Amino acid sequence: MKRNWTMSQVAAHWDSVPEYDSINSQIDSYYRRFKDSAPLFSIPDNAKVLDTDCRTGNGALFFSRKYPTAKFTCMPMAPSFERAAQKRFAENSLSINLIPFFGIPLAFEDSTFDVVLTYETIEHVPWPQEFVAELSRVLKTGGIFVLTTPSVLWEPVHWLSAKLKLDHGEGPHIMLRRKTLLNIFASTELEVQTEKSFVLVPVGPCWLINFGKLLEKIFPEWIKRLLCLRRTFICIKK
């Protein structure tokens, strides 16, 4: 399942978007990756948490406020992300370990972390199966694994948005089908506990976004799996 790009190319794309945070501050769906997943799991007291790719640190900041005793290790995949995360953590007086994410294997011992978070990352790595296997390796038995990724059915929307320069684009990536993701979890000792789909309307006027949120409350999960932008999986390592 290897793709034809490198992590250096992924980093180069993100480094070419210095306005990453300012763009995403205008996109309701960006912060929903954290807000929507948060009620689906809990982080134990004093847990060791790995966040890769942490981007500019928004996720670690969000969860550190919710779980102040958690000890975070964040792995950004681009130098610009690392600099932005360092600044964000310093401004919020957070002591968070930052380690660049250049590839695998990860420089951690087996069963190091209680929780692993990976938001909108698997679609960018050249080796998705190996990536999840490595995250599973460093997760303790019984530990929590949280993954979000866009639905493959939204690929044309991402392509059009990038072409029209409506956002920062996704750079090198391939969205994964749900069945592929489930097979990857099964082969890496990760058991899906909860699966939810979110975001019918990612951008637009407030009334339209709120209408989309209303429909999300009404629609059954099987319809949302077909229509929603983001897949969210909460897994336990067996």
Q: Does the residue 188 lie in any domain?
A: yes
pLDDT in tens, 192-208: 999 999 999 998 899 99
Q: Does the residue 28 lie in any domain?
A: yes
Residue 233 confidence (pLDDT): 98
Q: Does the residue 118 lie in any domain?
A: yes
Q: Does the residue 181 lie in any domain?
A: yes
What distance in Å separates the CA atoms of residue 136 and residue 133, rounded to the nearest whole number? 5
What distance in Å separates the CA atoms of residue 47 and residue 69, rounded to the nearest whole number? 7
What distance in Å separates the CA atoms of residue 143 and residue 189, rounded to the nearest whole number? 11
pLDDT in tens, 92-107: 999 999 999 999 999 9
pLDDT at residue 116 is higher than 80: yes
Please enumerate in sequence order all residues whose Cβ is within 8 A of that of 101, keeping only pairs 6 or more positions apart, or say none. Answer: 7, 52, 53, 75, 76, 77
In 3D space, the residue among 20, 9, 11 whose CA is nearest the CA of residue 168 turns out to be 20
pLDDT in tens, 19-72: 999 989 888 899 999 999 999 999 999 999 999 999 999 999 999 999 999 999
CATH (domain of 222): 3.40.50.150
Q: What would the 3-class secondary structure string for 173-231 be?
A: CCCCCHHHHHHHHHHCCEEEEEEEEECCCCCCCHHHHHHHHHHHHHCCHHHHHHHCCEE
Residue ranges making up the domain that contains 89: 7-237
Residue 164 confidence (pLDDT): 64
pLDDT at residue 1 is higher than 60: no
In 3D space, the residue among 98, 106, 181, 94 whose CA is nearest the CA of residue 139 turns out to be 106
Task: Tell me which residue has tokens 């002591």.
Answer: 95
pLDDT in tens, 157-199: 777 776 666 677 789 999 999 999 999 999 999 999 999 999 9
Q: What is the pTM of this model?
A: 0.95
For the segment 134-159, the average pLDDT, to the nearest whole number, is 94
For the segment 219-233, the average pLDDT, to the nearest whole number, is 97
Counting the structural domains of the chain, the total is 1
